[in-house]
Amino acid sequence: MTGPAPTDVHPAWLPPEVFRAVGSRHCLVLGAGGLVDTVVAEVERACAEHGGSVRREVEGPPPSLVLALVPAVGDGGPAELDAALAELETAGGGPLGAEGYALARHGEVTVLLADQPAGLLYGLFHLTRLGESAFGAPYAAQPHRPAMRRRMLDHWDNVDVHPVMGQVERGYAGGSIFWQAGHPRRDRGRVRAYARLLAACGINAVTVNNVNVHATEARLLTERLDDVAELADEFRPYGIRVHLSVTFAAPVVLAGLSTADPLDDAVRAWWAQTTRAVYARIPDFGGYVVKADSEGQPGPFSYGRDHADGANLLAEALAPHGGVVHWRAFVYNHRQDWRDRSTDRARAAFDHFAPLDGRFRDNVIVQVKHGPMDFQTREPVSPVITAMPGTRMAVEFQVTQEYTGQQRHVCYLAPWWSEVLRFGWSDDGHTVAGVAADGGGLVAVSNVGDDPFWTGHPLAQANLYAFGRLAWDPQLRPAELLDEWIELTFHPDTSADPDLLRRTLHEIMDDSWRTYERYTAPLGVGFMVRPGLHYGPDVDGYEYSRWGTYHFADRDGVGVDRTRATGTGFTGQYPRPWSRVYESPDTCPDEVLLFFHHVPYEHVLHSGRTVIQHIYDTHFDGVAEVEAACLRWKSLVGLVDAAVHARVTERLDEQLRCAREWRDQINAYFHRKSGVPDAHGRLLH
């Protein structure tokens, strides 16, 4: 069932060592169903490696680990199982649900209970995180349920190599693990191993192609559906449903209809019939993902319809089969005139979507990027997330590091995602995490490719891991998640200096997002990257472009006035208290000051420093922090796998080169614009 682990790829957070505690026990598994077979196969593999045993019949010597589906528990099971069940009942809290599980320890027996097979699988992976501690002192049954029902990764993978974007759009880890130059890859073991890693961090949905749907990829929906079905077969044993990005123009480009108008009967009939065929082939298909009227993709605007009309068309086709449509809210004018100060890209998603609240069908999930612009290193939370109580919403993160160092720089993103998820408004305790949990869950763009370390930069694996875990439980702390990831991936106890290894990884990674922020675009102003590529500094690269990403630096100051009083009015899209907080530079948090305000260089931040001195200081500090990270990493020679050490060393060298370039270009630029010298007299070039 699980197949042999591929040997040409790093085991990431599932090396055989993490199964030692489970694999050295005498295990009893009670229950049946597809995912139970996966659990049994996992436990068998672990026991073969570590000397334990597995059986599925109650009769036999006392087990030390019982994994049981509650409905399969009958008379005659171990007494410890009954005790755990009784505790669970007393604890209340209702059923464990489709994916929940409970863990308990009584006497010498650890018990894992679930209502349904997926829960058993997630519980098994929880045991890998606990290791021996799951088999120590007794503890009463503790239930675990995911906060989000849908925890999804979108792959921006192309079937054909795109002439500009390549095999994977914004991919920094080699080619696609699904597709290679026009065809599905044959090495399916890699996909299965990926599914296993994803399940182990809690992911349960994957989109297998880019949201920019080109000609070949459009046909995955119809004549190339078998390719999608093959992938679904690999993901299914790990409880992961496959979704497909489709083009809104499909009825025209695939079936030759004269229109894709969402209100046209022939168009509706085509989607209904096409979707029926998809479910006939892939009964557990998840649904469609759509990028419409965005960056050149077709959409309902061409027919004078709005996004509710467009999304409802696909939702109607999916509803009879239990599918959902993820309809992206990333809609803005990408053909702006930089001279036009009245258009503000940050406003666009709210302007298009907030008025449609309440008009989307139940199986539409409006998928919103977490910030109003585009996955910059720092942005405020998108106000759209606060504005559509009558709509199911999914919040979209970007695990692939398009604007955060492209997996050449260490940039552990969980601290930021955690901040976003905790962002709250109103007295009723609304938070981003709450909106996602009540609606369509969390989605992220994957950072995985066919690279032997999965993610190019081995330390970027932590972002993938942390995303899945935060989607399961948004309350988890980033440092705690890093602990988990370090223990699983590096198993420090088997190294010569466990404390040094743990401490050093934390020192390098904990604050690496803020380090990256320090040496790149300052105070939330964003972009300043090379156009198209989005790597390395180019302060004015986007300043006179059509993409709507400006910083407006002149000799007196910098930043975008998005206030109601004198700017684009974007601050008015927020509920209180944020509409007020962001409106005034006196209350606006420093880290997003230049996102909301155009201020003089001598403006004094809450930190007590002027904007210009902050720019100089943070850029020197950021580079110093990268220098320190390089030295720290050196000290881990011999404590981590040699190939991992070499790859990270190579990436850190590039990070340091690039950080120095950022520092020098940004500092020189603002020094030349402002004429203000550095208070500490450092070289500004």
Residue appearing with tokens 């509710």: 308
| Strand-pair partners of 683 | none
Q: Does 211 bind ligand GCV (CB under 6 A)?
A: yes
Q: Does 374 bind ligand GCV (CB under 6 A)?
A: yes
Pick the closer one to ligand GCV by CB: 236 or 551. 551
**Tokens coding 547:** 């993409």
* DSSP assignment string, 342-408: T--GGGHHHHHHGGGTT-S-TTEEEEEESSSSSS-SS-PPPTHHHH-TTS-EEEEEE-S-TTTTTTT
Pick the closer one to ligand GCV by CB: 22 or 208. 208
Tell me how far, at minimum, the Cβ of 549 lies from ligand GCV, in Å: 10
Given 212, 406, 446, 674, the residue binding ligand GCV (CB under 6 A): 212
Whether residue 577 has a cis bond before it, omega within 30° of 0: yes
Q: Does 397 bind ligand GCV (CB under 6 A)?
A: no
Contact by Cβ (8 Å): 41, 33 = no
Active site residue 44: no
Tell me how far, at minimum, the Cβ of 175 lies from ligand GCV, in Å: 17
Pick the closer one to ligand GCV by CB: 294 or 674. 294
> 56: helix, coil or strand?
coil
Pick the closer one to ligand GCV by CB: 188 or 334. 334
Tell me how far, at minimum, the Cβ of 334 lies from ligand GCV, in Å: 8
Tell me how far, at minimum, the Cβ of 407 lies from ligand GCV, in Å: 15
Per-residue interface string for the shown chain with ligand GCV, residues 111-150, x marking contact by CB under 6 A: ----------------------------------------
Tell me how far, at minimum, the Cβ of 664 lies from ligand GCV, in Å: 26
Rounded Cα distance between 300 and 310, Å, is 5
Q: Does 307 bind ligand GCV (CB under 6 A)?
A: no
Tell me how far, at minimum, the Cβ of 177 lies from ligand GCV, in Å: 18
* DSSP assignment string, 156-200: -EEEEEETTTEEETT--SSS-SSEETTEE-S-HHHHHHHHHHHHH
Of the residues 295, 337, 602, 653, which is catalytic? Answer: 295
Contact by Cβ (8 Å): 592, 571 = no
Spell out where 43-108 has E strands. Answer: 53-55, 65-69, 101-106
Taking alpha carbons only, the member of 57, 230, 201 closest to residue 129 is 201
Pick the closer one to ligand GCV by CB: 44 or 169. 169
Tell me how far, at minimum, the Cβ of 212 lies from ligand GCV, in Å: 5
Q: Does 168 bind ligand GCV (CB under 6 A)?
A: no
Of the residues 115, 293, 402, 591, which is catalytic? Answer: 402
Pick the closer one to ligand GCV by CB: 267 or 368. 368
Pick the closer one to ligand GCV by CB: 156 or 467. 156
Taking alpha carbons only, the member of 629, 208, 170, 681 closest to residue 412 is 629
Across 376-392, b (16+ Cβ under 10 Å) vs e yields bbbbbbbbbbbbbeebb
**Tokens coding 210:** 């880019």
End-to-end CA distance of the chain, in Å? 61
Pick the closer one to ligand GCV by CB: 374 or 625. 374
**Tokens coding 538:** 């180019």
Q: Does 217 bind ligand GCV (CB under 6 A)?
A: no
Q: Does 169 bind ligand GCV (CB under 6 A)?
A: yes
Max Cα distance, the chain (Å): 83
Tell me how far, at minimum, the Cβ of 542 lies from ligand GCV, in Å: 12
Q: Does 370 bind ligand GCV (CB under 6 A)?
A: no
Tell me how far, at minimum, the Cβ of 69 lies from ligand GCV, in Å: 40
Q: Does 170 bind ligand GCV (CB under 6 A)?
A: yes
Tell me how far, at minimum, the Cβ of 295 lies from ligand GCV, in Å: 6
Of the residues 44, 234, 374, 517, which is catalytic? Answer: 374
Given 327, 330, 417, 519, the residue binding ligand GCV (CB under 6 A): 330
Contact by Cβ (8 Å): 256, 279 = no
Rounded Cα distance between 393 and 457, Å, is 31
Per-residue interface string for the shown chain with ligand GCV, residues 525-564, x marking contact by CB under 6 A: ----------------------------------------
Q: Which residues contact 401 (CB under 8 A, 6 or more apart)?
A: 172, 407, 409, 411, 413, 447, 460, 463
Given 291, 307, 326, 518, the residue binding ligand GCV (CB under 6 A): 291
Pick the closer one to ligand GCV by CB: 212 or 447. 212
Active site residue 419: no
528: left (phi over 0), alpha (psi -120 to 50) or beta: left
Q: How many residues bind ligand GCV (CB under 6 A)?
A: 9
Pick the closer one to ligand GCV by CB: 170 or 603. 170
Per-residue interface string for the shown chain with ligand GCV, residues 427-466, x marking contact by CB under 6 A: ----------------------------------------
Rounded Cα distance between 365 and 328, Å, is 8
Active site residue 402: yes
Rounded Cα distance between 448 and 175, Å, is 9
Q: Does 156 bind ligand GCV (CB under 6 A)?
A: yes
Q: Does 418 bind ligand GCV (CB under 6 A)?
A: no
Q: Which residues contact 459 (CB under 8 A, 6 or more apart)?
A: 410, 412, 508, 509, 648
386: left (phi over 0), alpha (psi -120 to 50) or beta: alpha
Binding site for ligand GCV (CB under 6 A): 156, 169-170, 211-212, 291, 295, 330, 374
Residues carrying an active site annotation: 295, 374, 402
